């Protein structure tokens, strides 16, 4: 591509909300960026450009979705490349300001690549595998516009969807959503239009809309990113939904643990009110709508719609029998529409760009895109949005960049505590509501955790069951006691106390919990157990029959051992690092781990210098050679 | 002392959680006295107030430490060795998980997910995120923090 062409492209693509003629510095300051130190970077930029304020502006933007590269900064320069820099620190800021803001050196050595246009020296980011396979529809503004500026959102077509909707009859708006094929993106995949129709047709003059932002799955953070990076797109979807079902009041039910998202949505609400997009007679129509924020007090089950309504009424977050569905009788007994953050963001896209553009993506039964939080043992962690129908393999290898440190892939856990662990030979499974369900996982919350050979599947199942056990609200006996029992059987297995019946008992408990629980949390809590039993049964058997943990993770079945042939007697790292004085020197000065004292904290393995690499883990523990198990004066176990 | 929170507009059972959140954000915890006061205000039984408060993870019933330590036990952190970090913290601080030190300097708890999975395993101390934690790293970090607070004193 020629430089001039790239310039033209760069101007066309990047400058929409950013006035030309001045340089713009975008600093990603969502939660993950802040954790990596982006606020200090932003301050450093503001300090450095103090004297050229009229020509340069620094903006807070949301999350670009590349968590592993944070803090991220983009410099948009009029008539030149827009360059994205990664791992920026306050120390590298002066160089960037001198180099590219004041001068003409794009400092490519600090850059991840160019955002619009590339020149042989620099990587063109949209062409990276990481982005090539993505379709950023819900994420289109994330990390690009400032979530604190309603004008930025409007510059990209924001609130045009609402304006369009208000010119239609409510039933026609629902028709558009129906034609788009949008299904609830909170996990269950219920057709959005069907829910809307039920609520619209329910009697009564007072109706409510609730935006479900109670993202409780450990390992999922898409809703947080959307609210932190592009709150207006969620709000616009919510106002459209309210108009379509005839609601006059809305609530954003959001986790207390997301303080920044609460902040950003509060700012968005104020701005929307000031512009006449909320309140009385919105945009001159007869439609009035107000939105309030409700902060959740921390309970995983609150993500279930009837439990959420209970929490909003000041009660324990206990799910209720359905029917009646909230669409007929919800908050305070009134018809209530509950939609997830992503679903509502999808609504604004459908109304802005037309239902066809949404319907054209994805598969027959799952239209549009799926949004995932990639975490675990991947090279690239962060957010990914792919068209429905993309394979898990693309998600893990092309977008995720494969497994870190060249390790072997073992499993992908999809859908959080209610989801399932899928093995390598199911990587060609399509991502859509039905295919995932078929494989034993669910779309669920959208958390995707990739595991490598160093992760134990029994331990993973135990982890998720433990989560469900702690978060069980206690209403149904099968969920309350069943998850407790499943956890204790798994605990026995990981400790080497499993018996030949353990697997059968687990399977039976899992079926009972599934059948005897009222809500999705309970019904789906056995999924991690069922899928690991189905796909990784040999790991269970190794624990039970051989007292062996193949990944060498389960403490009771694993021993730390120092290879005498690799150990260097002049080095004392492990001795000093051991918190319980379990490492001692033998008569030759080589180190030995006293198995009676060792608490298996892993410190010795971490501090052993790479040139020796003498500390290894053995499982079963009987592999530790006799004579190197304890101090010579104690009796060997 | 609760008059700014227990206002007439909140005198409805639906506001219970909101009221408890306000009290905790001001006092740092929910004392028995505060919950009894709320029960009286909303004309609810104190058992109901207690039942709701203890249902949710957010509420605590003992005064917080000056430097709360939270070890993330989200999925990504768990897989990256969060359990070892948690155990190292408990050992170094000499505080049980869920407990507070006698001098109220540190408290230790496990939390479900702080939302920065790319930096796993993660610990937050006084709200500051410490990424990529290891058992030896725990010791170093605590030494640094203690040295810093001594220097300030």
pLDDT in tens, A580-609: 999 999 999 999 999 999 999 999 999 999
CATH topology of domain A558-623: Alpha-Beta Plaits (3.30.70)
Is B140 domain-assigned?
yes
Question: Dmax of chain B from CA atoms?
Answer: 53
Query: Which contacts qualify for A303-306: CB closer than 8 Å, 24 or more apart?
Result: A303/A186, A303/A212, A303/A214, A303/A215, A303/A216, A303/A445, A303/A521, A304/A519, A304/A520, A304/A521, A305/A210, A305/A212, A305/A330, A305/A338, A306/A330, A306/A519
In the predicted structure, residue A8 carries a pLDDT above the cut 70: no
* Alpha carbon A328 to chain centroid, angstroms: 32
Decide if B119 and A35 are in contact by the 8 Å CB cutoff: yes
- Residue predicted with more confidence, A444 or A379: A379
What pLDDT, on the 0 to 100 scale, is given for residue A187?
A: 82
Beta strands in B8-112 (DSSP E): 67-72, 106-111
Q: Nearest CB to A451: which of B79, B114, B131?
A: B79
What is the tally of structural domains in chain B?
A: 2
Decide if A218 and B73 are in contact by the 8 Å CB cutoff: yes
What pLDDT, on the 0 to 100 scale, is given for residue A89?
A: 97
Q: Nearest CB to A31: which of B76, B111, B116?
A: B116
What pLDDT, on the 0 to 100 scale, is given for residue A234?
A: 98
What pLDDT, on the 0 to 100 scale, is given for residue B95?
A: 95
Q: Write down how long chain B is.
A: 153
* B113 and B136 within one domain: yes
**How confident is residue A68, by pLDDT bands cut at 50, 70 and 90?**
confident
Decide if B73 and A300 are in contact by the 8 Å CB cutoff: no
Decide if B120 and A599 are in contact by the 8 Å CB cutoff: no
Average pLDDT over residues A566-573: 93
What pLDDT, on the 0 to 100 scale, is given for residue A342?
A: 96
| B58 in contact with chain A, both atoms CB, cutoff 8 A | yes
What pLDDT, on the 0 to 100 scale, is given for residue A115?
A: 83
**Domain A457-546, what architecture?**
Up-down Bundle (1.20)
Rg (CA), chain B: 18
* B87 and B133 within one domain: yes
Q: Nearest CB to B16: which of A220, A314, A416?
A: A314
Q: Nearest CB to A35: which of B51, B75, B131?
A: B131
B91 CB neighbours in chain A (<8 A) are 579, 601
| B70 in contact with chain A, both atoms CB, cutoff 8 A | no
Minimal Cα–Cα distance from B26 to chain A, Å?
15
Is B86 domain-assigned?
yes
Average pLDDT over residues A106-127: 79
- Greatest mean pLDDT among A120-124, A164-168, B3-7: A164-168
**Mean predicted lDDT score pLDDT of chain A:** 92
A413 CB neighbours in chain B (<8 A) are 75
Cβ neighbours of residue A27 under 8 Å, at least 6 residues apart?
A: A33, A38, A41, A42, A45, A58, A59, A60, A61, A71, A72, A73
The string of pLDDT tens digits covering residues A476-516 is 999 999 999 999 999 999 999 999 899 999 999 999 999 99
Nearest-CA residue of chain B relative to A257? B114
In the predicted structure, residue B124 carries a pLDDT above the cut 50: yes
Nearest-CA residue of chain B relative to A298? B57
Decide if B119 and A299 are in contact by the 8 Å CB cutoff: no
Helices (H) and strands (E) in chain B, counts: 6, 4
Structure tokens at A218: 């450990």
For residue A163, give the nearest of A354, A351, A9 by alpha carbon: A351
Structure tokens at A413: 């856990």
What pLDDT, on the 0 to 100 scale, is given for residue A120?
A: 60
Is B131 domain-assigned?
yes
Structure tokens at A557: 């079945």
Decide if B87 and A601 are in contact by the 8 Å CB cutoff: yes
**How confident is residue A553, by pLDDT bands cut at 50, 70 and 90?**
very high
As a whole number of angstroms, the distance between CA A619 and CA A10 comes to: 56
| B143 in contact with chain A, both atoms CB, cutoff 8 A | no
In the predicted structure, residue A463 carries a pLDDT above the cut 90: yes
Q: Nearest CB to B118: which of A32, A316, A603?
A: A32
Structure tokens at A420: 């399932």
Cβ neighbours of residue A338 under 8 Å, at least 6 residues apart?
A: A209, A210, A212, A305, A308, A309, A326, A330
As a whole number of angstroms, the distance between CA A435 and CA A348 comes to: 27
For residue A148, give the nearest of A53, A294, A38, A26 by alpha carbon: A26
Decide if B88 and A607 are in contact by the 8 Å CB cutoff: no
**How confident is residue A16, by pLDDT bands cut at 50, 70 and 90?**
low
In the three-class reduction of DSSP (H, G, I as helix; E, B as strand; rest coil), residue A208 is classed as: strand
Yes or no: say if A245 and A283 are a contact pair by the CB < 8 Å rule: no
Average pLDDT over residues B92-97: 94
Average pLDDT over residues A519-525: 92
Structure tokens at A615: 């500390």
| B116 in contact with chain A, both atoms CB, cutoff 8 A | yes
Structure tokens at A552: 């060498």
- Kindly provide the b/e burial profile for residues A93-108, where b requires at least 16 CB atoms within 10 angstroms of the residue's own CB: bebbbebbbeeeebbb
Minimal Cα–Cα distance from B59 to chain A, Å?
8
Decide if A221 and B113 are in contact by the 8 Å CB cutoff: yes
Residue B83: give its domain's CATH number: 3.40.30.10
Domain A158-358 grouped into CATH 3.30.2320.80: no
pLDDT exceeding 90 applies to what percent of chain A? 81
What pLDDT, on the 0 to 100 scale, is given for residue A177?
A: 98
Stretch (H or E) spanning A387: strand A382-387
* B110 and B45 within one domain: no
**How confident is residue A13, by pLDDT bands cut at 50, 70 and 90?**
very low
Query: C-alpha angle with apex B75: A190 to A257, nearest 5 degrees?
Result: 75
* B86 and B107 within one domain: yes
Decide if B88 and A221 are in contact by the 8 Å CB cutoff: no
Average pLDDT over residues A334-344: 97
Average pLDDT over residues A78-99: 93
Domain A369-452 top-level CATH class = alpha beta
Nearest-CA residue of chain A relative to B42? A314
Beta bridge partners of A56: A23
Burial label, A470 (beta-carbon count in 10 A; 0-12, 13-18, 19+)? middle
CATH of domain A3-127: 3.40.30.10
As a whole number of angstroms, the distance between CA A140 and CA A154 comes to: 13
Decide if B15 and A314 are in contact by the 8 Å CB cutoff: yes
The string of pLDDT tens digits covering residues A38-59 is 999 999 999 999 999 889 999 9
What pLDDT, on the 0 to 100 scale, is given for residue B9?
A: 87
Decide if A315 and B52 are in contact by the 8 Å CB cutoff: yes
Q: Nearest CB to B17: which of A31, A297, A602?
A: A297
A575 CB neighbours in chain B (<8 A) are none
Return the residue matching tokens 């605990």: A491
Minimal Cα–Cα distance from B115 to chain A, Å?
6
Decide if B119 and A451 are in contact by the 8 Å CB cutoff: no
Is B116 domain-assigned?
yes
User: Domain residue spans in chain A?
Assistant: 3-127, 158-358, 369-452, 457-546, 558-623
Nearest-CA residue of chain A relative to B20? A297
Is B95 domain-assigned?
yes
Cβ neighbours of residue B26 under 8 Å, at least 6 residues apart?
A: B5
B79 CB neighbours in chain A (<8 A) are 376-377, 449, 451, 455, 460
Nearest-CA residue of chain A relative to B140? A577
The string of pLDDT tens digits covering residues A182-210 is 999 988 899 999 999 999 999 889 999 99
As a whole number of angstroms, the distance between CA A93 and CA A95 comes to: 5
DSSP state of A562: E
Q: Write down how long chain A is.
A: 637
For residue A487, give the nearest of A524, A517, A460 by alpha carbon: A460
Yes or no: say if A336 and A309 are a contact pair by the CB < 8 Å rule: yes
Classify strands A249-255 and A208-213 as parallel, antiparallel or unpaired: parallel
B112 CB neighbours in chain A (<8 A) are 216, 218, 257, 300, 467
Structure tokens at A248: 């006059």
DSSP state of A294: E
Give all strands of the β-sheet with A409-414 in edge-to-edge order.
A382-387, A369-376, A447-452, A409-414, A420-423
B129 CB neighbours in chain A (<8 A) are 34-35
Decide if A603 and B135 are in contact by the 8 Å CB cutoff: yes
| B73 in contact with chain A, both atoms CB, cutoff 8 A | yes
- Kindly provide the b/e burial profile for residues A564-584, where b requires at least 16 CB atoms within 10 angstroms of the residue's own CB: eeebeeebebbeebbbeebbe
Stretch (H or E) spanning A76: strand A73-76
The string of pLDDT tens digits covering residues A133-189 is 999 999 999 999 999 999 999 998 999 999 999 999 999 999 999 999 999 998 889
Minimal Cα–Cα distance from B103 to chain A, Å?
23
CB atoms under 10 Å from CB of B151, counted, come to 7
Return the residue matching tokens 């439609």: A287
As a whole number of angstroms, the distance between CA A593 and CA A574 comes to: 9
Q: Nearest CB to B135: which of A299, A317, A601?
A: A601
Cβ neighbours of residue A156 under 8 Å, at least 6 residues apart?
A: A16, A17, A140, A141, A145
**How confident is residue A127, by pLDDT bands cut at 50, 70 and 90?**
confident
Say what the alpha-carbon torsion angle A338, A340, A341, A342 is, to the nearest 10 degrees.
-140
As a whole number of angstroms, the distance between CA A175 and CA A179 comes to: 6
Nearest-CA residue of chain B relative to A301? B56
Q: Nearest CB to B113: which of A219, A316, A381?
A: A219
CB atoms under 10 Å from CB of A203, counted, come to 7
In the three-class reduction of DSSP (H, G, I as helix; E, B as strand; rest coil), residue A442 is classed as: coil
Return the residue matching tokens 């189905």: A534
Q: φ and ψ at A412, to 5 degrees?
A: -120, 125
Domain coverage including residue B74: 67-152
């Amino acid at each position: 591509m020629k430089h001039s062409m790239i310039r033209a492209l760069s101007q066309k693509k990047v400058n929409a909300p950013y006035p030309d003629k001045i340089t713009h510095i975008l600093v990603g300051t969502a939660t993950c960026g802040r954790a990596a130190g982006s606020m200090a970077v932003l301050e450093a930029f503001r300090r450095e450009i103090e004297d050229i304020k009229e020509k340069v502006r620094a903006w807070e933007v949301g999350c670009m979705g590349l968590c592993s590269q944070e803090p991220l900064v983009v410099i948009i320069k009029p008539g030149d490349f827009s360059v994205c820099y990664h791992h920026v620190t306050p120390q590298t800021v002066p160089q960037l300001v001198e180099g590219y803001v004041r001068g003409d050196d794009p400092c490519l050595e600090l850059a991840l690549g160019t955002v619009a246009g590339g020149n042989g020296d620099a990587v063109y980011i949209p062409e990276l595998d990481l982005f090539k396979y993505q379709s950023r529809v819900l994420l289109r503004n994330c990390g690009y516009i400032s979530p604190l500026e309603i004008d930025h959102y409007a510059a990209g077509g924001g609130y045009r969807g609402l304006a369009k909707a208000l010119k239609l009859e409510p039933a026609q708006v629902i028709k558009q959503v129906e034609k788009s094929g949008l299904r609830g993106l909170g996990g269950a995949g219920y057709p959005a239009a069907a829910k809307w129709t039920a609520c619209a047709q329910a009697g009564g003059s007072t109706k409510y809309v609730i935006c479900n932002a109670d993202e409780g799955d450990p390992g999922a953070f898409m809703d947080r990113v959307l609210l932190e990076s592009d709150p207006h797109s969620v709000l616009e979807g919510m106002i459209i939904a309210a108009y379509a079902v005839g609601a006059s009041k809305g609530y954003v039910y959001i986790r207390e643990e997301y303080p920044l998202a609460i902040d950003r949505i509060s700012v968005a609400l104020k701005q929307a009110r000031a512009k006449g997009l909320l309140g009385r007679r919105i945009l001159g129509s007869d439609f009035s709508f107000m939105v309030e924020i409700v902060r959740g007090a921390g309970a995983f089950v609150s993500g279930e719609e009837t439990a959420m309504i209970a929490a909003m009424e000041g009660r324990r977050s206990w799910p209720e029998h359905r029917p009646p569905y909230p669409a007929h009788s919800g908050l305070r007994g009134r018809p209530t529409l509950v939609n997830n953050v992503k679903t509502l963001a999808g609504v604004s896209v459908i109304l802005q760009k037309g239902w066809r553009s949404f319907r054209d993506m994805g598969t027959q039964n799952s239209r549009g895109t799926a949004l995932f939080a990639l975490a675990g043992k991947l090279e690239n962690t962060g957010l990914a949005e792919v068209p429905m129908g993309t394979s898990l393999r693309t998600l893990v290898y092309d977008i995720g960049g494969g497994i870190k440190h060249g390790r072997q892939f073992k499993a992908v856990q999809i859908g959080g505590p209610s989801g399932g662990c899928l093995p390598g030979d199911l990587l060609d499974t399509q991502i859509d509501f039905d295919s995932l369900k078929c494989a034993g996982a669910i779309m669920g919350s959208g958390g995707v955790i990739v595991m490598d050979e160093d992760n134990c599947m029994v331990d993973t199942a135990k982890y998720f069951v433990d989560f469900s056990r702690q978060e069980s609200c206690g209403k149904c006996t099968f969920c309350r006691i069943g998850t407790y029992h499943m956890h204790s059987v798994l605990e026995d297995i990981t400790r080497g106390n499993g018996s030949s019946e353990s697997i059968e008992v687990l399977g039976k408990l899992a079926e009972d919990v599934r059948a005897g629980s009222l809500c999705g949390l309970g019904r789906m809590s056995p999924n991690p157990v069922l899928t690991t039993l189905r796909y990784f049964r040999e790991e269970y058997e190794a624990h039970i029959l051989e007292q062996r943990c193949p990944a060498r993770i389960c403490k009771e079945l694993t021993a730390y051992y120092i290879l005498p042939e690799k150990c260097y007697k002049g080095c004392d790292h492990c001795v000093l690092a051991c918190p319980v004085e379990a490492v001692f020197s033998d008569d030759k000065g080589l180190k030995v781990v006293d198995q009676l004292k060792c608490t298996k904290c892993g410190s010795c393995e971490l501090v052993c210098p790479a040139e020796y690499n003498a500390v290894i883990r053995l499982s079963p523990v009987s592999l530790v050679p006799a004579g190197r198990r304890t101090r010579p004066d104690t009796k060997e176990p | 002392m609760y008059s700014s929170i227990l206002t007439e507009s909140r005198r409805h059972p639906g506001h219970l959680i909101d009221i408890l959140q306000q009290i905790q954000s001001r006092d740092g915890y929910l004392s028995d006295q505060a919950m009894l006061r709320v029960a009286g205000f909303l004309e609810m039984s104190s058992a109901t107030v207690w039942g709701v408060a203890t249902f949710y993870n957010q509420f605590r019933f003992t005064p917080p430490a000056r430097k709360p330590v939270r070890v993330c036990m989200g999925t990504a952190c768990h897989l990256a060795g969060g359990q070892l970090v948690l155990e190292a913290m408990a050992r170094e601080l000499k505080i049980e998980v869920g407990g507070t030190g006698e001098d109220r300097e540190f408290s230790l708890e496990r939390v479900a997910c702080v939302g920065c999975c790319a930096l796993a395993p993660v610990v937050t101390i006084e709200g500051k995120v410490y990424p990529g934690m290891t058992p030896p790293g725990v010791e170093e970090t605590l030494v640094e923090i203690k040295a810093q607070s001594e220097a300030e004193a």
